[in-house]
Structure 1
């Protein structure tokens, strides 16, 4: 635990670099650490976690500019989080899974800090995070740590990632449709985007997740071949999905549970494919002035949910979502009572829910299944 805590302090120091540089598109390796105010290169004595900030009185040694208290806070939180993970998930039992959970903690903390500052969650955190989560799940499956410690196997990690992304993107799709008063999108993405995700949602309900993804890819290929957006009416895709769920509830078709699982997993797969595509094809100019349709949820939250699902599995992901919604509602009521503006996006709440699910999720899930007699 002591070693993990010290290691966490060092990782927390690097996390501060990520928090500052990723939103600005800067390299996280070069140039070396420097004061953002005077650009003076920092010496090793300036970089000792927590101690340097306290010793310098929260100011730069060279220009005396104030240094945010966030720096030692991030370092302390990371150190405490790593020590707690080492205690709850011993390396001797969980192997690489312990390191994976530490990585998840860092991803959540960095994403939350950036979201609080910029209202965005960088793809450089979430999409590689999903890939790393899958790799660690494969190692856990091979070593037997997944079965011994309750971590998701590779199949469970894939399911968690797809259902996590699928659930949040479905909320976004339907919520955005309502915000537009059921009008069609004015600015559909080319060649892949929300229209293809909605198509995957409908097709996945009837054909399963992989055929749903295939339908989305076929639609994107058609857009590429025709060099324009071939519109898919949301009245057909989203409306068809809602009708399908209603029919499944009556026992028609594959059944309600299988239809919902297939639809969400297909939508999650299509969302992740679209996320990777737009990450690789990102335009250098700012997206702030680009036209957009009203959105019920940020797409960064969709990818963050995939990260949580791939590391924790779909059951603890649901715990994280419930905690996030409750925490957001409570803070919203407090801010309403204080008549203050709510400037916290959903990402930090989702990260808080993931930490709760990481620590107590196993017990909560077991208690829930026990209540159902399962």
Structure 2
């Protein structure tokens, strides 16, 4: 039942993330004023603010002026619900679950914002160090696994230094927002395990490279085509949670080594 409950929570969080994605890049408050139709300015009624269902009942149009409402809104809600359920399935009903659900939430918001405006806003990234650190520390306290807390700090430093070095070595190759985000992801990957840190770091560049090739082939352009890297970093980190163990086992198998129980 935990994934189901987390999916329902994801629907609600996804509705709020739609507001975050729209307002944070513009420097607006996410709590005031209430949501309104961008066409006529009419406030969205509570009965019209039920995730996914309201959009379907309204047939994707504003109740007041009948202006179309983008399908992106219910898709974000559904996507967040699916991601929350997947994270709950991987992490399980453990002390760490709140921390990784928070990661899933900021991953949706930051990925969409980076795709929209090529930016990873500080008001989301920087507070995440505090929130993620506190939730992961609570997870270590609940499980008694203080080594995981130490790995989280080490992961933050390792990934932050790696991205910082790349930022300095190749100006323009990535944004400063990517460097700031790397530390947050390092916390999560380090807490999960050293194999997750390695797989997550590698997966980010693999996904980014594949996206770059597909984008260039479809739209034209060259090596200097600007492509947001934040979604690849976030996707690589989330993918590492279920994949780190199997990938590490496969790699050690190639090397003729085995993982001790």
Give the alignment's TM-score, normalised by structure 2: 0.87
Structure 2: runs of 5 or more not aligned: none
Residue 46 of structure 1: CA displacement? 1.3
Of residues 165, 188, 191, the one that matches 1:311 is 188
Alignment partner, residue 178 of structure 2:
301
Alignment partner, residue 218 of structure 2:
338
- Given that 1:78 and 1:106 are in contact with CA atoms closer than 8 Å, whether structure 2 keeps it comes out as yes
- Given that 1:5 and 1:80 are in contact with CA atoms closer than 8 Å, whether structure 2 keeps it comes out as yes
**Residues 339 and 90 of structure 1, relative CA distance in 2, 3 Å threshold:** closer
Between 3-12 and 315-324, report the one with greater CA deviation: 315-324
Deviations 1:85-116 (A, max 9, x none): 2222221xx22x11111100111110000001
- Given that 1:34 and 1:41 are in contact with CA atoms closer than 8 Å, whether structure 2 keeps it comes out as yes
The reply to whether residue 170 of structure 1 matches residue 50 of structure 2 is no
Kindly report the root-mean-square deviation, in angstroms, between the aligned alpha carbons of the 2 structures. Answer: 2.0
- Given that 2:163 and 2:182 are in contact with CA atoms closer than 8 Å, whether structure 1 keeps it comes out as yes
- Given that 1:19 and 1:113 are in contact with CA atoms closer than 8 Å, whether structure 2 keeps it comes out as yes
Of residues 343, 351, 355, the one that matches 2:234 is 351
Alignment partner, residue 361 of structure 1:
244
After superposition, where does 1:48-63 map in structure 2 within 5 Å? 48-63=50-65
Structure 1: runs of 5 or more not aligned: 177-294
Output the CA distance in 2 between the equivalents of 1:23 and 1:145.
39
Output the CA distance in 2 between the equivalents of 1:54 and 1:343.
36
Report the structure number with the largest CA radius of gyration. Answer: 1
- Given that 2:39 and 2:67 are in contact with CA atoms closer than 8 Å, whether structure 1 keeps it comes out as yes
Give the alignment's TM-score, normalised by structure 1: 0.62
Output the CA distance in 2 between the equivalents of 1:141 and 1:323.
26
Count residues in correspondence: 249
Output the CA distance in 1 between the equivalents of 2:144 and 2:132.
14
- Given that 1:130 and 1:161 are in contact with CA atoms closer than 8 Å, whether structure 2 keeps it comes out as no
Output the CA distance in 2 between the equivalents of 1:49 and 1:343.
33
**Residues 42 and 316 of structure 1, relative CA distance in 2, 3 Å threshold:** same
SS at match of 1:72: helix
After superposition, where does 1:143-292 map in structure 2 within 5 Å? 143-144=142-143, 146=145, 153-176=148-171
Alignment partner, residue 268 of structure 1:
none
Which runs of at least 4 in structure 1 moved beyond 4 Å after TM superposition? 369-372
The reply to whether residue 131 of structure 1 matches residue 130 of structure 2 is yes
Deviations 1:32-84 (A, max 9, x none): 22223332211112111111112222222222222222211111111111112
Alignment partner, residue 15 of structure 1:
17
After superposition, where does 1:36-47 map in structure 2 within 5 Å? 36-47=38-49
- Given that 1:13 and 1:49 are in contact with CA atoms closer than 8 Å, whether structure 2 keeps it comes out as yes
**Residues 339 and 42 of structure 1, relative CA distance in 2, 3 Å threshold:** closer
